[in-house]
Structure 1
């Protein structure tokens, strides 16, 4: 590959990422994590959107795509995690803890509805939308969450 071809490929990749960010209305990269983490207005709602975001932020079979709330439950974050997927227990939603750049668990048994009642895998999180529906620093499905 010559230099001009390499430059065009790099420019295309950067343009694709910017376009993907604009489609989500907001895309801001955060510092302080061990891997690139971006803000998003919403997490994928189906498998097609999941696969598009997986590709857009350059995840691989070795580092799977994730879209989770931050540890304060105030913002949704998307990133390629250090594992291809995570097995999630029933009654658990996930969030990303900044200090260790690690996914952590949140007991969702206080949700009015939508708390997963079976174990599931992280690449199917789009089926568990109550775990990514947030507002006012809480999960919207929580009894105590003020809308």
Structure 2
């Protein structure tokens, strides 16, 4: 009887987590990556949202949460990365590539952005402070002069 109750609680917890992910963030798990990756409509805008989203997909202090565009700059993805954080150089935004299996995060020069290109290095856990690196149109960052809104 206790074992059955435990399984029900575990199942309820899993359903609750998935429900919160789907309802609050409209995320969908994608199968084309080496680790769990979820599509999302937007990336966190502050530390509180960052922490909530990180918890929702079970990131830990050892595998940090990231929210980045895909390699085609057509959708936003959230995932727990292999490392607790990534140091991002100035004038760089990141995206998630399918080409690499372990170091799947790649860089994109934002020097040509009209606004919002980070002018100093920062850690990925503060990515929400640079929203123009996650504000995308179809195949472009919105801050790019040629991007069609």
Please classify the TM superposition score into its range, dividing by the shorter chain length.
over 0.9
Instruction: Find the counterpart in structure 2 of residue 73 from structure 1.
Output: 73
> 2:3 maps to which residue?
2
CA distance in 2, matches of 1:142, 1:124: 22
Partner of 1:23: 24
Per-residue deviation, 1:12 = 1.3
Q: Does 1:117 align with 2:119?
A: yes
Aligned to 2:53: 53
Q: Deviations over 1:80-120 (max 9, x none)?
A: 00100000000000000012240000000000000000000
Deviation at 1:78, TM superposition (A): 0.2
Equivalent residue for 2:140?
138
Residue pairs, 1:80-91, within 5 angstroms: 80-91=80-91
* Structure 2 unaligned residues grouped into runs of 5+: none
Shifted more, 94-103 versus 6-15: the winner is 6-15
Q: Is the 8 A contact 2:20 2:56 kept in 1?
A: no
Q: For residues 47-104 of structure 1, give each alpha carbon's deviation from its aligned partner in whole angstroms, at most 9, with x where no partner exists.
A: 0000000000000111000000000000000000010000000000000001224000
Cα offset, 1:7, TM superposition:
3.2
Higher mean C-alpha deviation, range 40-49 or range 12-21: 12-21
How far off its partner does 1:3 sit? Answer: 4.1
Q: How many residues align?
A: 146
